[in-house]
Chain A
Amino acid sequence: MSDDAKITIEVDGQQLEATPGQMLIEITDAAGITVPRFCYHKKLTVAANCRMCLVEVEKAPKPLPACATPVTDGMKVHTRSPLAREAQKGTMEFLLINHPLDCPICDQGGECELQDVAVGYGSDVSRYHERKRVVRDEDIGPLIATEMTRCIHCTRCVRFGGEIAGLRELGATGRGEHMRIGVYVEHAVSSELSGNIIDLCPVGALTSRPFQYRARAWELSQRDSVALHDGVGANVHVHVRRNQILRVVPRENEAVNETWIADRERFSYQALQSEERIVQPLLRENGALREAAWEEALAGAAEALQAAGSGLGTLVSPNATLEEMFLSQRLSRGLGSSHIDHRLRQSDFRGDAEDAPMPWTGSRFAELSSNQATLLVGSWLRKDQPLLNHRLRQSVLAGGAVMAINPVDYDFNYPLVESVVTRPSEMVSALAGVAAALGADAAGVTVEPDATQRAMAQRLKSAGQGGILLGVAAHLHPDFSLLRRIAANIAEATGCNLGLLPPGANVAGAHLVGVLPHRYPGGRPVEQAGLDAMTILAGNCKTLLLFDVDPEFDVANPALMKQALAGADKVVAISSFDSPWLREHADIVLPLAAFGETSGTLVNLQGDWQSFCGVVEPKGEARPGWKILRVLGNLTGVSGFDFLSTEEVINEIRLEAAGMTPDNRLGTPVSTLKPELSESDELQRVGSVAIYDVDAMTRRSPALQATPDAWTPGARVHSSLAERLGLVAGDEVRLSQAGCSASLPLQLDDRVPDKCVWLPMGSPGSENLAAGFGPISLEKC
């Protein structure tokens, strides 16, 4: 029988079509026939240890577990026959023997699979009178609360660790009555996807710690939204009670996030209640900000913007919605300035003229799982875009090879077949070596390929489906243009897909609607290109409009930002969160609705337009960004701001950006570029942003900041460098860059190449320094 032949089985008298090899439960699930289960999960391997899905199969001597019974042609199954029911009820009774009756104080109560199934299959009265077991709890970190007495040993969380997170942290120790799920040696679990075990747990053994005892399931209303910390655009359900977001859980979308979300997406909502939310418009008067009415603040802002004209520089967060982005560029351009950018952390704009029309992963997310060879360039994919890393990990499980050229020996949850770890300044030549091995143009960089580079080239070339992915560190690299050009040449020479993975949730959207100095909506070129983010900050704009930007942490070079703020005549900030620099320099602060408080659209890195509604009222006097921009447009007399809803804005965007699809093809190469970073011996900073410092929300989520993944304030160097400098871990060191300095504790980390200092943009203390990548000096305080 060939693999794709269909067979027919009969379930409860119903004829169903199936493929040989499928498990019975897959067929019944697809047909909507309820079979109770605890351990089975469609994304995990079959364990068949809970025995709840027992069904009667004709000609089988005893009930069989539907999750582990492959279908065969002509199979006759009864899911509700007396035999099946008896088996299910028997299993249920055993499962409840040791389960505590603490539903009234259990967070899972009301959304508990055990509770639900017990209603259908349990008995009214327990026949068990002996002592129940009690299990000691372990502290497994700030995200997950444990109550292991409730555990029914389905092992979903254990299998998740091995199969999806790629990190076995939980296990089942002991045997029989003494078996328990835990970490054995107490420590905080460190996977960036760990929160998913909260959803997987069918009982109240693993629950959300930040959500603990906050609400009952039935008090919450569930609304749909889209997460905004990376370009995946994971679909989420937001759980709301009394106008407050209390929890975020995944919403299934096979094409985007499957059934998972990263911890960042799950717990960042905590920031919404932060003390630092701006809840009232603020105006500077006599040197200090004071609270003001909206009319007054808007009038002030409009006046400042209008006066600025072509001197206006606008910086828009790459996480802003498509509507906000569209209106912000319309406002800026209507006022006569094309100085607008969303690439706040990028520092190399020399290749703007050859920019891809609309950056994306180069293939649909799901296709990453079938890559045979993938080269990561400047990417800690695991922490930068955790769900894309999950897809790529699937490719490794299927036998694919992943290789990397990185400025830090980042740890991945799969082995790298080839890896080059080098100082940022040598990344260009490392990549050029791969190009040279292929005989491709290396953008003028001449280099003799070594064995590793030849091996990389060979794997890419021989892959039926391959990818070369430029990650966050590559995008923030001072030689991004070169890296991108060489990567494109390699992609062309090998037939691999070029993937661009910049930081930010809506970068593709920003390209769609022209939040770029050199592109209009629809990607049409601007004849007289405006100034890019870096040049705007270099003192060329006397009026700054900051849209959802934390000036200290969201830019490539805080030193430039600080000077720009100090030197500007007027600073208008539309912002959700307060920050010391806004306090010090902003003239007008307009409170912005944050995640969940506004409707809008995000375009992810595979080009999906994902619209969502506001699910709660904005906090205090905050207002949705599109409305603020609309009023500013109206007050400044710019035409084309008569929108009544985000739908109307989106309709206009659809017209303006008609026909634009994700496209990584670069334009005609700009004249030969020289590497910006010199390969001299001085120390170099590696400053790619850390997982929980990516945006204002993650930085203000106490739970995320308490995890092992959060960046501990400090600068990391290789132990041999520390030894040469006579330093030990914990020493307070002074870091200096371009005339500014910061003192931070020294940390030793042998993943960092020699002569480098790993200090991410956006990390505590980095606001006192300059460019994320570039020369840095270090001395003992």
Chain B
Amino acid sequence: MSIRNEPMVRVKKFADKSSLFTAEIRAEIDRWIAKYPDEWKQSAVMAALRIVQDANGGSLSQEAMDQVADYLDMPPIAVYEVATFYSMYELKPVGRHKICLCTNVSCMINGSDDILAHLQKRLGIGFGEVTEDGRFSLKEVECLGACGGAPMMQIGPRYFENLTPELVDSILDGLE
């Protein structure tokens, strides 16, 4: 949805930007802001949310989203819109390792149901839940474009393909 005069709808700019986040996070967001015209720094919202989510233990609190809104001088609702639209933003706390298991067609045909059953048994949690020790959370995702190696899952930035229950065990055992 495009609103022609969007840059104008937050009239009072947030003055004390240095009170938001840390200097490193601000510098990283600024790098993205620099890519866009001055009056459209809100274009950096997706990158900013990703950066803040990473720094925030993998999820976005309302406070974190409000800070992004303040930093980019956006109406908070415009930030919520973006954060709720994209599935890779997490609005509830996740585990230290977010296991994204694909259950789309190719993976399903190649046995993602068994992988899921194994994960559920081993971790004692279902989709959308976090283990009690906060180490793992499980998330159902759609196709991640690795059908050649189905079934697959993603943990952090890494893809793990051609999964078997044994392989899953060794992967999880290798994580702190």
Contact = CB atoms under 8 A, between A and B. Distances in A.
Interaction A to B: yes
Contacts of B3: 45, 158-159, 162-163, 168
Interface stretch (A107-115, A408-416, A421-429, A430-438): A408-416
A336 interface: no
Nearest to A175: B85
A185 B114 CA distance: 39
Contact of B1 (A49, A166, A184, A415): A49
B23 interface: no
B149 interface: no
B11 interface: yes
B77 A45 contact: no
Interface string B82-102: 001110000000000000000
A47 B75 CA distance: 20
Given A162-B3, A184-B77, A175 B8 contact: no
A413 B78 CA distance: 17
Nearest to A166: B9
A398 to B, nearest CB: 10
Given A162-B5, A163-B4, A166-B8, A174 B84 contact: yes
Contacts of A158: 1, 3
Q: Which size bracket describes the interface of B in this complex?
A: 20 to 34
Contacts of A163: 3-5
A330 to B, nearest CB: 48
A167 interface: yes
Contacts of B86: 175
Contacts of B1: 47, 49, 155, 158-159, 172
B77 A169 contact: yes
A397 B10 CA distance: 13
Contacts of A155: 1
B2 interface: yes
A171 interface: yes
Interface residues of A, number: 29
Contacts of A415: 8, 11
Contact of B80 (A159, A184, A411, A413): A184
Contacts of A167: 9, 75
A200 B107 CA distance: 46
A166 B81 contact: no
A568 interface: no
A171 B78 contact: yes
Contacts of A45: 2-4
Contacts of B43: none
B9 A173 contact: no
Contact of A411 (B9, B11, B85): B11
B120 interface: no
Contact of B77 (A159, A183, A411): A183
Interface in A459-501: none
A170 interface: yes
B84 A175 contact: yes
Nearest to B5: A397
Contacts of A172: 1, 81
A148 to B, nearest CB: 15
Interface string A20-55: 000000000000000000000000010101000000
A444 to B, nearest CB: 36
Interface string B1-28: 1111110111110000000000000000
A47 B3 CA distance: 9
B151 to A, nearest CB: 25
B76 interface: yes
B5 to A, nearest CB: 5
Contacts of B84: 173-175, 184
A184 B75 CA distance: 12
B166 to A, nearest CB: 36
Contact of A173 (B2, B6, B80): B80
Interface string B64-80: 00000000000111101
A49 B3 CA distance: 13
B56 interface: no
Contacts of B6: 162, 168
A629 interface: no
A594 B24 CA distance: 63
A30 to B, nearest CB: 23
A168 B77 contact: yes
Interface string A140-183: 00000000000000010011011100111111111100000001
Nearest to B11: A415
A457 interface: no
A396 interface: yes
B104 to A, nearest CB: 16
Contacts of A185: 62, 76, 80
Contacts of B11: 166, 411-415
Given A411-B12, A412-B11, A413-B11, A171 B80 contact: yes
Contacts of A411: 11-12
Interface string A265-308: 00000000000000000000000000000000000000000000
Given A45-B3, A47-B1, A168 B80 contact: no
Contacts of B12: 411
B4 A168 contact: no
A414 B77 contact: no
Interface string A393-417: 0001100000000000001111100
A174 B85 contact: yes
A169 B3 CA distance: 13
B3 to A, nearest CB: 4
A177 to B, nearest CB: 13
Contacts of A174: 84-85
A183 B80 CA distance: 9
A49 B144 CA distance: 28
B5 A173 contact: no
Nearest to B81: A171
A773 B5 CA distance: 37
A158 B10 CA distance: 15
A131 to B, nearest CB: 20
Contacts of B5: 162-163, 397
A498 to B, nearest CB: 26
A159 B5 CA distance: 10
Given A173-B80, A175-B84, 14 more contacts: A45-B4, A159-B3, A162-B5, A162-B6, A163-B5, A167-B75, A168-B6, A169-B77, A171-B77, A171-B78, A171-B80, A173-B77, A173-B85, A415-B11
Interface of B: 1-6, 8-12, 62, 75-78, 80-81, 84-86
24 contacts: A45-B2, A47-B1, A155-B1, A162-B3, A162-B6, A162-B9, A163-B5, A166-B8, A166-B9, A168-B3, A168-B6, A169-B75, A169-B77, A174-B84, A174-B85, A175-B86, A183-B77, A184-B80, A185-B80, A396-B8, A397-B5, A412-B11, A413-B11, A414-B8
- What are the nearest 3 A-B pairs in CB distance? A171-B77, A168-B75, A162-B3
